[in-house]
Structures are given as structure tokens and as C-alpha cells.
Amino acid sequence: MSAEFSFKGHAFTITTDGWDGALWIMTKDGCHYPDEMQALRDAVEGAGHIRSKSIATFSIATALLAAATSPQAATNTALTLRGPISYGAWLALSNAPAEFSIEVSNDFRTWQPLLGVTARKSSFYVVDRDAPADTNRIRFYRTRVPGLSVEEQAAKWTALRFSQYRYHFRRVCFCTPTIISGIVIVQDGSVIGVTNALDEQTGQPISNPDLAQFRSIEQLFDEIRRALLRADVVSVMYDPTLGLPARIDLDFLAPAVDDEITYEAHDFEPIK
């Protein structure tokens, strides 16, 4: 359910959805109006009709140069919030460069890298999978160049010199099994064991996991490198401290719906 309205001379849409009962307030022209957006939020909250955490205010800033520096600038990409899905916010891009990053903010002042994107297509979709967990319920997006280089992130990771470590690995694909996860144990870049392996589609533990279906952090970087040679869209969220790829979304054929692969890495722990 949605409606369009004008406020202080600007056009907005307001939408309710089935994701979590949130109210979405979005600009129609893709420009940023932080004062007006905040005033709308305050007005709705003050009316007492819905709880504060149920308000999700989104805006898109794709040609924003005010905060850009000479080596890093906004792109002319059209970035549109298409709406919520069960696992994130669905973002549509058009006129996108081959390599760029998407940044996210809660206040238009502090921006954080969200995704590093490399694409063979100029129009495609990506998903902000962190949106459902954002307790602020306000997220603004913008595109920036240059993007997040896989080699720069890999160099950051390599410099930390973790020879032994464990982390929680998860893979989602149109393969068998469809969703697997487990605690991967790594030594010198190779997976040497997996504990708590689970087939998430069936909910059944995997008693004798095939190590070849799991990846070390080093092997995740290799997956990204290979995908850059043949996938239509590669989007990666990197850990800002460790440089490791915390989430990798690979879309080999953008128009298709059964070729995507997602890798996730979290709960990293070095083994001493």
C-alpha cells in the first residue's frame, strides 16, 4: 500500500509493507532532503500512530558532490530503492560504471562502505542484506568511485598473517546441498576441518562434511577473482578491520534466477 505526496515543495512516496510492518518514506527524484525527511519522521512519530522503530526512511544520493574529494566522487548512476524483501532492501541500479562502491548512512553525515560492486551490465539489482538488522530504521545510499578493490582488501587480510583460524562459513546456491554452513578450521590457507556442519535446507547435521564444499578466507578471495572474469555482477561486503569478504553475492547471468551464489563469513577467530 503506497501513496504520493508533496512536502515543502518536494515529492515523496510513503509505503507500508509486509516485511515487518514498517513505514517507508522515500524521495521520488532520488535527491537528498535530510531536513524534510527528519521532519516527516518526527511528525509521524509525534502523531503516535506507529512505533519509532517501525519507521524506515530511505533516500538515494547518487550525484552528491558536496562531500566528494578529488580521488573519490559520486557517480551518475541511478540508484532506486525498489522495496523490501524478506532478507534485505532491494536496490535497482542503472547507468552504473563497471566498478564502484555503494555507501550507507543513517544521517547523511557519516558514510560507511556497504558493497564493492563490479558489473558487466549497466543495469542490475543488488541487495542490502544488513537493512533488516538496522535498529535506526533510517538508511541512505549513494554510489561512489573508485570501488573497493579486491586486491587491496586481500592485501589488508594477508598483512595480518593469520596462519591458523576458524570462522563460520555459509554458502547458498542452486546446487546440492542448497544451503550449507559450519565452523571452518583453516591452516595455511587450506580447510583442514569443519565442525557443526549443517544442511540448512533440511535442518539436518552433516556428519561427514565434504571439505571441498567449504572455503578458507583465501579461497573466498579466489572465488571473487574467478567471478570477476565471467560473472555479470559481483558484489562484496568486506570486513572494515580485517579486509575479509564477509558476504559475497555472485550473479553469473543477471537476467536469470537460478545461477546466483552467496558466500558468508563471520565470527572469525584466530587459533593460537
- Residue 111 shares a structural domain with residue 21: yes
**In terms of domains, do 132 and 9 share one?**
yes
pTM value? 0.75
Q: Are residues 34 and 110 in the same domain?
A: yes
Please indicate, yes or no, whether residues 61 and 76 belong to a single structural domain of this protein: yes
pLDDT in tens, 55-88: 344 444 433 333 333 344 555 777 777 766 667 7
Final residue in a domain of this structure, among 84, 119, 148: 148
3-state SS of the chain: helix, strand, coil percent to 5?
15, 45, 35
Last residue of a domain, one of 91, 125, 148: 148
Number of domains in the chain: 2
- The whole-number average pLDDT for the span 176-185 is 94
Location of C-alpha cell 533440511: 202
Task: Give the pLDDT score at 259.
Answer: 84
- Which of 128, 148, 168 marks a domain boundary? 148
pLDDT at 53 over 50: no
- Domain of residue 75 covers 2-148
What is the C-alpha end-to-end distance of the chain, expressed in Å? 54
- Mention every residue, 6+ apart, whose C-beta is less than 8 A from residue 271: 164, 165, 166, 185
User: Of all helices (H) and strands (E), which one includes residue 228?
Assistant: helix 217-230
Provide the mean pLDDT of the chain: 80
Return the C-alpha cell found at 74.
Answer: 559520486
Prior bond of 146 cis (ω within 30°): yes
190-215 pLDDT, tens digit per residue, is 999 999 999 999 999 999 999 999 99
